[in-house]
Amino acid sequence: MKNLSVLLKGEVDRLRKYHILAASLLVAFIWIGVMQLTEIDDVTGIFPLFLFLDATSMSMVLIGVSMFFEREENTLKAIFVSPVTKKEYISAKIIGNILSNMQTLVLLYLYAWIFKEININILTLVVYVILISIFHSLIGFLLAYHTKSFTELLTGMIMFMFVLLIPVVLEEVGIITVEWLRNVLYLLPTKAALLLLNSTSAMSTVKTWEVAYGVGYLILSSAVLLVFIRRGFEVFLAKESGI
Q: Is the pLDDT of residue 124 over 60?
A: yes
Region at 51 (left for phi over 0; alpha for psi -120 to 50; beta for the rest) = alpha
What pLDDT score does 4 carry? 72
Region at 120 (left for phi over 0; alpha for psi -120 to 50; beta for the rest) = beta
**pTM tops 0.75, yes or no:** yes
Question: In sequence order, what are the beta bridge partners of 201?
Answer: 120
Residue-wise burial string across 54-68, b where 16 or more C-beta atoms lie within 10 A, e elsewhere: bbbbbbbbbbbbbbb
Which whole number is the average pLDDT over 4-12? 74
Q: Is the pLDDT of residue 73 over 70?
A: yes
Q: How many CB atoms lie within 10 A of CB 223?
A: 11
- Rounded to whole angstroms, the Cα distance separating 165 from 163 reads 6
What pLDDT score does 81 carry? 67
H or E element at residue 114: helix 86-115
Q: Is the pLDDT of residue 243 over 60?
A: no
- Rounded to whole angstroms, the Cα distance separating 22 from 80 reads 29
Burial class (CB in 10 A: 0-12, 13-18, 19+), 91: middle
Positive or negative CA dihedral for 92, 93, 96, 97? negative
* Angle 94-97-99 from CA coordinates, rounded to 5°: 115
Which whole number is the average pLDDT over 6-34? 80
pLDDT, tens digit (0-9, with 9 covering 90-100), for 195-209? 999 999 988 889 999
Mean of all residue pLDDT scores within the chain:
87
What pLDDT score does 207 carry? 94
Given pLDDT bands bounded at 50, 70 and 90, which one contains residue 113? very high
Q: Is the pLDDT of residue 122 over 60?
A: yes
What pLDDT score does 93 carry? 87
- Rounded to whole angstroms, the Cα distance separating 108 from 104 reads 6
Helix (H, G, I), strand (E, B) or coil at 11: helix
pLDDT, tens digit (0-9, with 9 covering 90-100), for 136-170? 999 999 988 888 777 888 888 889 889 999 999 99
What pLDDT score does 167 carry? 94
What pLDDT score does 1 carry? 57
22, 144, 156 from 151: Cα distances, Å: 21, 11, 9
Q: Is the pLDDT of residue 183 over 70?
A: yes
Q: In this prediction, what percent of the chain has a pLDDT beyond 70?
A: 93
